Structure 1
Amino acid sequence: MPDDLFGDRVPRAARKKTARRAAEADLRTVSQRITDVARFDDLYRLADTLAPAPGPRRGRPPHYPPYIYLLFLALRGIHGSARYCAGDLQEPSVWTTIRGSVARHLGHDEAARLPEAGPSRHQWQHAQRTLLIPRLEELSETFADLALAQALRQGLLPTDAKRSWSSPQRHQLIAGDGTVAKSPTLSTAPFSVDPTTGEVRRHRVDPASSWQKEGGADRNGNNAQNATLAGTTAGTDIHAHAGEGAMVLGTKFVVFSTRHRGYFRRVFLRYAHVPHNQPGGEATVALDLACAILDAAEGCMGVLYDGALRGIHRDVIARRGRLLVNKQHKGASPRYIRTLDFGRCRHELWSNSGRVHERAFLDDGTSTLIPLSVGKLERRASTHTHRWYHLLDIPCPRGPHKHRESVGVTSTIGEQSQGQSDTETGFHRAENLLQIPDNTAVHQTLYGGREDTEAGFSQLDRSLWNRRMIAFGAEAQSLVILGFLLAQNATSASRYQGDPTYSDTDTVTAGLSSDRPEPSRS
């Protein structure tokens, strides 16, 4: 077979180790991360969302300005609990650091107006109920805008960089995945009755937690009603086995990020909670988040995601002129596409493993599918949509042929000649033909960036006290995620300010280095 545009997949034994050992300069202590958060410009910009509405002021002014509670939210993403965070803010040295950063951003007069110590846990809980949760949607949208601007400042998703659609760079893509944070309680019923004594015992139940399937979909690749696809779970000690998969009690979130090489170089862009009864499950939420980023980030070339996104989702992203790099569903069987007639020869094309194959008949009367080499990946734009094509090299005893086959987009009635659209022929093209086939070297390199998102989720697990969600209810838990993302982006911004050239990284394949969790503070 002629050389393929995407190359052959490298066997595991022949792969080179690309991950770089962490040096001392890569580590971030808790005290360093507190400074990162306190000096994070975007935190003070985000606080503008909490500014009171204009008009006559009534009542007593708050003891702490709104930005202090946002700072508390981000620091909780480092300490792992509100109690520990509140205790640390009572320490004079920590509070002095915070006041110095406030003076740096808002002036010395503003810093002088702050109390002599940080807010208590009860003050935080009151602010969470009355200030942050009512503005959660605004905070999330403003965070997304600020995070995208931060990514652009740090050279991620660049609009003026050279583009190669057949081999994009890791920092030109966004990666997403779903994670299940363990429920803060084991209880699933508000009360239980002791069968021996008849004693009624009351339990606190998390309304946002449900049983989620761990590690993938059912046999058909679909989301079960109460067992949605989970990318990475926060643990497996709370589980029950159902069929072939483990069920985890927790709350699901989808998170998107982009990154450069090196430790703590990731910028988290968007997140969303996935209700357990969400129509379409994780995939619907992930597609909405991805499209929101693609519409706002002109320099983003595509999306890395797992098998939760299927053909209908690939179609949406491909029509936007972007790539969706994920694996072909294992349950997809070979499908007939068309027969090419070149006069003296005929070639029968089939889809298999996400790419075009030719059916070859053997001497014993059987047949086999042979993959066709891709010479070029073409992206064509029309008025309202984009089209993608593989320029195929078809070997033939009578001379090789060239053929252009559409991929990634399922044509509908009116987009092709009458009777020729995929909808009319019954061929789900986006489901069966990938823009970048998964059994190739390019896909192998890029897809490591999707797997790398699990490093971020590992950081999230370690940031939670006892590795369980530290709040009850979807809104409060969304604030936990927001605080963690703020803290991570603050450290990423600090690392970039200290080394904007990324000189601490090796020239390894983009996306394969993972974040390293910070050491515990003594």
Structure 2
Amino acid sequence: MPDDLFGDRLPPKARKKTARRASEADLRTVSQRITDVARFEDLYRLASVLEQAPGPRRGRPPHYPPHIYLLFLALRGIHGSARYCAGDLQNPSVWTTIRDSVAHHLGTDEAARLPETGPSRHQWQHAQRTLLIPRLEELGETFADLALAQALRQGLLPADARRSWSSPQRHQLIAGDGTVTKSPTLSTTPYSVDPTTGEIRRHRVDPASSWQKEGGADRTGNNTQTTAPAGTATDTNTDTDTDTDTEENKNEEAMVLGSKFVVFSTRHRGYFRRVFLRYAHVPHNQPGGEAAVALDLACAILDAADGCMGVLYDGALRGMHRDVIARRGRLLINKQHKGTSPRYIRTLDFKHCRHELWSNSGRVHELALLDDGTSTLIPLPVDKLERRANTHTHRWYHLLAIPCPRGPHEHRESVGVTSTIGEQSQGQSDTETGFHRAENLLQIPDNTAVHQTLYGGREDTEAGFSQLDRSLWNRRMIAFGAEAQSLVVLGFLLAQNATSAARYHEDPTYTDAHTETADLSRNQREPSRS
């Protein structure tokens, strides 16, 4: 398409990989990650939620302070089970590392009061039941505040950076997706009867698990992971390498028994640069399903982060969700639903010509009549993506260039927002005309080069979900019930953010990101040899 703002989508063979290949130095061993968690300052700030005011009747002080159990929670996200975590905390060298970190953050007196070894598995289970689960909601909200502050410290979602709404940078966006963690048990009924002997066998059933729809094998992200020894961590950076049009990614949806969670994160280029921002469990009977939970999380982040330019998500978010985010003055970058058919928009009458506009594939097309009596839809080039604000809401427009034998025309068409009664002249609003504009016209059309580059950041979230799966013992959830499972996810996110903070402390200038940016610029300048 000539002179289009967003450019033409490149075929898979013409795309070049721009992410730097992971090396041995990019891996993070278990001992390194334990140190990262122990030195993570936000973890001790989060522990303040667990502090209890002394009551009128003082009892015996707890054997371990609350921050130790929060450390245990994060370390469990590395070891994959409470049993292995408790066993590792009996190691004198590991416990010395934790005591030294406690002394650094809370003082030597607090470190001196710690016992000689870490808590046992039974002590952890008691603390989880009586201390952590009752304050799960407070922990989640405080974690979200601390995570956003961490992202800002690490140069993510900057409020003072230059903004290009037609081509935002990866670290100016948040990416979200839903994942299903496999149930800790395959049983769906509390008991079964042996048809031969009549024996009744009892089974433990997870109340939070149900049959969930999940994409094919590729949704686990295993196909993008580098091979690493057990216990090590890798962080793939596939935001520009993923092509969702390959045959491998066209797997049918599979049914998985487990619990669904929605997670949002943001990242810079380079390995271990991701910061997880928010998460939520999706109940099986949740009104609106995954999309409703994802929209609530995304709006909470957008309201708190002025530097966030938009959201990357998959097709679970439809027109009604795009409308909410677009009215907040942000972008929602996702794919157009396959079931959306072309819709008539309007006919433009000029002095000597008429042009009939239709929506198709998320953008404005012109209906062109062919010599054989048939017609076809031709996409119109976009010259500019305009963002306008008033007192209560935002509007988005595509400034279109309409080619014409009598001379080109300019036309401004609203996108991303479905106008309601009272927002336009009587009878002219989208609600009255029956045109769901937010469903049919995207801010950044998906069949473009800009969308192709940015949407890889959504695919990149699969790498984080793969790490979550590999952090769990036998790749299954290690807890029963939604509250306990939410703690498992929280512990994993804490461990990942701790490593991200440590990586930023080691290299705050993003030298590895600069290497990838240089490669990307060079690839854009050089013609493809494919």
Whether these two folds match at TM > 0.5 is yes
Q: Which of 246, 251, 254 is 2:262 aligned to?
A: 254
Whole-angstrom distance in 2 between the partners of 1:234 and 1:253: 16
Residue matched to 1:183: 183
CA distance in 1, matches of 2:414, 2:54: 55
Query: In structure 1, what is the equivalent of residue 236 of structure 2?
Result: none
2:503 to 491, 495, 503: 495
What corresponds to 2:229 in structure 1? none
Contact kept, 8 Å, 2:270 with 2:516, in 1: the verdict is no
For 2:46 and 2:300, how far apart are their aligned partners in 1? 19
CA distance in 1, matches of 2:11, 2:267: 26
Q: 1:443 aligns with which of 445, 448, 451?
A: 451
Aligned-pair distance for 1:215? 1.5
Change (3 A) 1:380 1:234: closer
**CA displacement 1:406-435 (0-9 Å, x = unmatched):** 000000000000000000000000000000
- What is the TM-score of this pair, normalised by structure 2? 0.91
Letter matched to residue 407 of structure 1: V
Q: Which residue of 1 aligns with 2:237?
A: none
The reply on whether 1:372 has 2:387 as its aligned counterpart is: no
Q: Does residue 120 of the first structure (1) align with residue 120 of the second (2)?
A: yes
In the alignment, the residues of structure 2 paired with residue 211 and residue 113 of structure 1 have an alpha-carbon distance, to the nearest angstrom, of: 47
The aligned counterpart of 1:346 is: 354
Q: Deviations over 1:344-372 (max 9, x none)?
A: 10000000000000000011111000000
* Among 327, 330, 335, the residue aligned to 1:322: 330
Shift of 1:26: 1.3
Q: Is 1:318–1:409's contact at 8 Å kept on the other side of the alignment?
A: yes
- The one of 460, 468, 474 equivalent to 1:466 is 474
User: Which amino acid is the alignment partner of residue 10 of structure 1?
Assistant: L
Q: What do you get for the CA RMSD once the two structures are aligned?
A: 1.6
Corresponding position of 1:59:
59
2:15 is matched by which residue type in structure 1? R
Say which SS state the counterpart of residue 61 (structure 2) adopts: coil
Contiguous gaps of at least 5 residues in structure 1 = 217-229, 236-242, 513-522
Alpha-carbon distance in 2 for matches of 1:261, 1:421: 42
Partner amino acid, structure 1, of 2:263? V
Specify whether residues 507 and 344 from structure 1 end up closer, same or farther in structure 2 by C-alpha distance, changes over 3 A only.
farther
Q: Is the 8 A contact 2:190 2:202 kept in 1?
A: yes
Which secondary structure does the structure 2 equivalent of 1:508 belong to? helix
Distance 1:179 1:509, change over 3 A: farther
| Aligned partner letter, 1:58 | R
The residue number in structure 1 matching 2:311 is 303
* 2-structure distance, mates of 1:233, 1:455: 8
**4+ runs deviating over 4 angstroms:** none
Count of matched residue positions in the alignment of Structure 1 and Structure 2: 491
Q: C-alpha deviations, 1:449-488, integer Å up to 9, x for none?
A: 0000000001001100000000000000000000000000
The unaligned stretches of length 5 or more in structure 2 are: 223-250, 521-530
Contact 1:179 1:231 in 2 (8 A): no
Q: How does 1:315-464 map to 2 (within 5 A)?
A: 315-464=323-472
- The match for 1:31 is 31
Q: CA deviation at 1:24?
A: 2.8
Q: Could you tell me how far 1:250 is from its partner in structure 2?
A: 0.5
Answer yes or no: is the 8 Å Cα contact 2:47–2:67 preserved in 1.
yes
Q: TM-score, normalised by structure 1?
A: 0.92
Partner AA of 1:268 in structure 2: F
Alpha-carbon distance between aligned partners in 2 of 1:404 and 1:2, rounded to the nearest angstrom: 18
Amino acid in the other structure paired with 2:284? H
* Distance in 1 of aligned mates of 2:260 and 2:58: 40
Q: Tell me if structure 1 keeps the 8 A contact 2:6–2:444.
A: yes
Shift of 1:294: 0.1
Q: Flag the 1:132–1:471 CA change in 2: closer, same or farther, 3 A.
A: same
Query: 2:47: which partner in 1?
Result: 47
Q: Is the CA contact (8 Å cut-off) linking 1:234 and 1:468 kept in structure 2?
A: no
CA distance in 1, matches of 2:162, 2:179: 33
Change (3 A) 1:75 1:233: same
Q: Deviations over 1:210-253 (max 9, x none)?
A: 0001219xxxxxxxxxxxxx994599xxxxxxx96421100000
**Distance change in 2, residues 1:392/1:371 (3 Å):** same
Q: Is the 8 A contact 2:179 2:214 kept in 1?
A: no
